[in-house]
């Protein structure tokens, strides 16, 4: 008889092979001929979570699958679960978040692409089901989704999100793409006061996402940001200054007609903030390279700091190589001494179509990266912003392959690593709650409706083809 493969617990409180993995594996036949042994020892680390109905149903289906594919008696064992533990303790809403104190301000880049009417954004996650979020293929417009994110973030030491912010057209009143994560979810959520937020201006789409001229910047864009974001009590302000991240600051040269004009415009933006009651504006520009000339350009443009949205590490590195490459880039940026930095550390990368270098740093290794990054930040001058905060890449770039929010493969593994490193005095062990635990959710109704539509199309396609042949 073939040696049974045990289901190994992951680094989180969620089974690394979740109920949905087992269900889907049985459906697509990937478990055929591969007997599984599930023991009480395997299930013990998950505590009462093994009693969730979804897990029990998966175990029952798994048993049936193993049996129907010809495995012999004894190839799979499903331990009994006490009946009393199978009941969900429903709650009317998500339990109030209990933030933990951190030694640094820790933020995470937030990717707001998961709107109900854009199901195609999940395409690469469908190819990689191990990436499936605990929230499922959710619709980010739901304030309850935002409240789950807030709870999970602040209870693990992440105190602010940097939301990607997209302008839909330039010149005239502000129109946005993907604005629902802030305006429909965060602003309408119950826990909005528990988490700080900032925006990163995604001005990469030339002619649409930037500014038409300085007048557009100062009469359309800045007033919108000041009134809607900077004045919001949850917007992150340090030393009385809102933080504004810009994805492609060099693109402003063309928008505003020259380097000098960009520097003047940034000064006008700072003055506009002072007139609005702030002590100025802190402007950070994205750059993930080591070219001294580019950093000198950023300094001439009047940026206060450089930061990386993510780190591209080439040649499909192993975890230790990905860690070493990032730390090397961070150290070399500081050694150049051209523009001070705010440090970012990355969890992985795949690209939207699995193009280029593909890599992931597992939670245990990620904890090592965080500790080394924390040690580096401690060496930065106390007068610099970079000595006070650190950025994590990324909360939820599910399609592009970098994410730390709880998901199928590692559950809360990444967030637990953040908590261990930056909240060493937080009580342990701690309990992580997910929607199924308290009878809330699901949040993927829009995606399931899309799946049903696609299935109907597939059913109709052979009929149309047959009708065409008959003619």
**Element housing 229 (H / E):** none
Residue recorded with tokens 């002072």: 274
Containing H/E element for 28? helix 19-28
Q: How confident is the model at residue 279 (pLDDT cuts 50, 70, 90)?
A: very high
Mean pLDDT of the region 298-306 = 98
Residue 417 C-alpha from the chain's centroid: 15
Q: Which of 292, 249, 291, 294 minimizes the C-alpha distance to 269?
A: 249
Whether the predicted pLDDT of 469 surpasses 80 = no
User: What pLDDT score was predicted for residue 467?
Assistant: 53
Domain ranges across the chain: 5-86, 105-436
Q: What confidence category does residue 356 fall into, taking pLDDT thresholds of 50, 70 and 90?
A: confident
Question: What would the mean pLDDT of 293-300 be, rounded to a whole number?
Answer: 98
Q: Which residues pair with 5 in a beta bridge?
A: 36
Distance, CA of 197 to CA of 12 (rounded, Å): 26
**Who contacts 365 (Cβ-Cβ below 8 Å, separation ≥6)?**
319, 320, 323
**Pairwise pLDDT comparison (198 vs 103), residue with the higher score:** 198
Is 70 exceeded by the pLDDT of residue 57? Answer: no
Higher-pLDDT residue of 438, 23: 438
- Residue for token digits 């826990």? 191
Side-chain-facing half-sphere of 225: CA atoms under 13 Å: 25
88 band by pLDDT with thresholds 50, 70 and 90: low
Residues 6 or more apart whose Cβ sits within 8 Å of residue 64:
26
CA 327 to CA 344: how far, in whole Å?
Answer: 10
What integer is the mean pLDDT of 21-29?
34
Residue 56 scores a pLDDT above 50? no
- Band (pLDDT 50/70/90 cuts) for residue 392 is very high
Q: Answer yes or no: are the C-beta atoms of 160 and 236 closer than 8 Å.
A: yes
How far is Cα 55 from Cα 374, in angstroms, rounded to an integer? Answer: 37
Q: Which helix (H) or strand (E) holds 105?
A: strand 105-110
Beta strands in 27-84 (DSSP E): 36-37
Contacts of 435 (CB under 8 A, 6+ apart): 134, 135, 148, 441, 442, 443
Q: What's the mean pLDDT in 422-432?
A: 96
Nearest to 415 by CA among 390, 444, 394: 394
Is-contact 172 114, C-beta < 8 A? no
Classified as helix, coil or strand, 167 is: strand
Q: Is the pLDDT at 64 greater than 50, yes or no?
A: no
Looking at the DSSP bridge assignments, the partners of residue 166 are 177
* pLDDT attached to residue 463: 62
**pLDDT in the model for residue 215:** 98
Q: What mean pLDDT do residues 156-168 have?
A: 98
Place domain 105-436 in its CATH homologous superfamily.
Glycosidases (3.20.20.80)
Selection from 329, 257, 344 nearest residue 295 by Cα: 329
Question: Tell me, what's the pLDDT at 304?
Answer: 98
Closest Cα partner for 396 from 111, 92, 23, 191? 111
Joined tokens for residue 118: 């854009």
Mean pLDDT, rounded, of the chain: 85
Asked if 285 and 301 touch (Cβ cutoff 8 Å), the reply is yes
pLDDT of residue 272: 98
Which three-class secondary structure state does DSSP give residue 306?
A: strand
From the list 358, 408, 402, the residue with the least C-alpha distance to 131 is 408
């Amino acid at each position: 008889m073939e040696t049974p493969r045990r289901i190994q617990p992951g680094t989180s409180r969620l089974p690394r092979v979740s109920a949905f993995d087992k269900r889907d594996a049985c459906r697509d036949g990937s478990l055929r001929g591969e007997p599984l042994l599930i023991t009480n020892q395997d299930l013990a680390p998950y505590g009462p979570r093994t009693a969730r109905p979804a897990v029990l149903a998966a175990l029952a289906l798994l048993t049936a699958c193993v049996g129907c594919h010809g495995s012999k008696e004894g190839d799979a064992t499903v331990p009994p679960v006490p009946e009393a533990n199978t009941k969900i303790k429903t709650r009317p809403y998500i339990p109030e978040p209990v933030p933990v104190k951190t030694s640094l301000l820790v933020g995470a880049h937030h990717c707001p692409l998961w709107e109900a009417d854009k199901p195609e954004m999940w395409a690469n996650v469908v190819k990689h089901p191990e990436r499936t979020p605990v929230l499922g293929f959710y619709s980010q417009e739901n304030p309850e989704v935002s409240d789950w994110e807030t709870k999970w973030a602040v209870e693990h030491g992440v105190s602010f999100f940097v939301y990607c912010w997209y302008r839909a057209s330039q010149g005239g009143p502000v129109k946005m793409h993907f604005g629902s994560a802030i305006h429909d979810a965060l602003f309408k959520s119950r826990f909005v006061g528990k988490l700080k937020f900032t925006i990163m201006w995604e001005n990469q789409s030339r002619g649409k996402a930037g500014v038409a001229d300085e007048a557009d910047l100062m009469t359309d864009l800045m007033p919108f940001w000041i009134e809607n974001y900077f004045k919001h009590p949850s917007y992150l302000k340090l030393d009385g200054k809102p933080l504004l991240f810009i994805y492609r600051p060099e693109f402003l040269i063309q928008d505003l007609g020259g380097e000098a004009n960009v520097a003047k415009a940034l000064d006008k933006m700072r003055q506009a903030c002072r007139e609005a009651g702030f002590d100025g504006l802190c402007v950070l520009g994205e750059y993930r390279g080591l070219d001294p000339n580019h950093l000198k350009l950023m300094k001439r443009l009047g940026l206060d700091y450089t930061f990386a949205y993510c780190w591209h590490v080439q040649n499909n590195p192993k975890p230790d190589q990905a860690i070493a490459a990032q730390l090397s880039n961070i150290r070399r940026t500081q050694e150049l001494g051209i523009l001070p930095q705010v440090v970012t550390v990355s969890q992985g990368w795949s690209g939207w179509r699995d193009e280029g270098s593909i890599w992931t740093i597992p939670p245990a290794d990620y904890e090592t990266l965080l500790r080394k990054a924390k040690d580096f930040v401690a060496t930065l001058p106390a007068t610099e912003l970079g000595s006070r905060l650190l950025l994590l890449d990324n909360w939820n770039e599910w399609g592009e392959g970098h994410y730390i929010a709880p998901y199928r493969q590692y559950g809360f593994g990444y967030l637990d690593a953040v908590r261990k490193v930056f909240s060493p005095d937080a009580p342990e062990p701690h309990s992580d709650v997910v929607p199924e635990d308290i009878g809330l959710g699901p949040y993927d109704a829009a995606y399931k409706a899309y799946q049903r539509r696609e299935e109907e199309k597939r059913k109709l396609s052979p009929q149309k083809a047959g009708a065409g042949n008959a003619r």
